[in-house]
Each structure stands twice: as structure tokens, then as C-alpha cells.
Amino acid sequence: MAISAVGGSPAYNPPPSKPGTVDHLTLPGGQQVTAIEADPSSLTATPLAIAWAPQLMAQADTDKDSRLDSGEFTRLLQRAGVNADQAEKLFQSFDSSQDGKLTVDEFVDGVTQQVNDNNPLFQKLIDSYTRNPDGSNNESAVNAFLAQGFALASDWASRHPRIQTKA
């Protein structure tokens, strides 16, 4: 993996590593990124609604306990026009532990199932945070969305280092 020069800074060329190796890098300008080395032939595309599910969860987590209760989940889904009864049914289907709170793993698993069932709801929710009314990308809104969920997403990704590799 090599990172090209940006703004006149020299390119980053780390030593070769094995697939699955995680590198934490600082790009020119101070931005922190995590890079996971992978064999390109093993990669598959991950839908954005799944990849950004932890960030989406962070938007709804108003009490900042890294879990969603039914009310937080319902308010999130109402952004996309889902009524309270429908949201409660979906919440129950996501809550595999049946404890009345969704962990990030339960949330991502539930979103994944919905995406796999061709339900566009969670992409619509992400768009409600990251797009302008005309449908165009709002770069500052995308950055704010990703920044708010960075800690939760980083924690989740650190426990799922191979999320983009084939089984």
C-alpha cells in the first residue's frame, strides 16, 4: 500500500505487509486513518448503508451510551417517514439479545439484513444526513456525519477487521 504525496509532502511507502495487517496512519494535514492491508482478489464491495451503519447509529444515540433504546431508534427511522409502530417492529427484529437496547453489532447486523433484503431505508437515512435537498452530496455534512460516529465506527471496525473480504 502506498499513499501518494499530498500538498508537496513525500509519499508514504510502508514496508510490505500481510493481508489483514492494520496500519494507523497520519496523512499530511494531520488526518488520522486506519488502513487494512488486503489481497485485492479477496475484496468485495460493501454497501455504504452497511459500511456507515456505526456512524448512523451514533447520530441516533442521543444519550451517548453507545446503545440505542426503542425511542432513539424510532426517532431515527422517523427521519425517513417510518411510523412508530413500524419502527418498534423493526427494533424488535434488530434486538437479538432481547434486552431493549441495540448494541452496535445488533444495529449493523440488522442494517445488513435490511440491505440484503433490498430495503433502501438505511441508505435513505444516511442520505438524510449527508445530501442537499436537491440530492447532491454535501461535503461538510458528510464530514460532520463521519466525525460524529468516528469513535463508535473505529471501535466496531477494530473488532471486524475482515469485513470486506470474501468468506
pLDDT over 90 (residue 13): no
Which region holds residue 98: left if phi is over 0, alpha if psi is between -120 and 50, else beta? Answer: left
**Residues 6 or more apart whose Cβ sits within 8 Å of residue 67:** 61, 101, 102, 103
Closest by alpha carbon to 87, among 59, 114, 66, 115?
A: 114
Whether residues 20 and 67 fall in one domain = no
- The tens digit of pLDDT for each residue in 117-132 reads 999 999 999 999 999 9
Q: Do 12 and 67 fall into the same domain? A: no
Residues 15-52: tens digit of each pLDDT:
555 655 666 777 777 777 777 666 666 666 778 888 89
Per-residue pLDDT band at 2 (split at 50, 70, 90)? very low
Any domain includes 77? yes
Dist. CA 23–CA 146, nearest whole Å:
20
pLDDT tens sequence across 135-151: 999 999 999 999 988 88
Domain limits for position 120: 48-158
- Same-domain pairing of 16 and 89: no
Say whether both 120 and 77 belong to one domain.
Answer: yes
Same domain? 120 vs 90: yes
Q: Is the pLDDT of residue 164 over 60?
A: no
The total domain count for the chain is: 2
pLDDT at residue 60 greater than cutoff 60? yes
Spatial separation of the C-alpha atoms in residues 102 and 107, rounded to whole Å: 6
Are 62 and 86 members of one domain?
Answer: yes
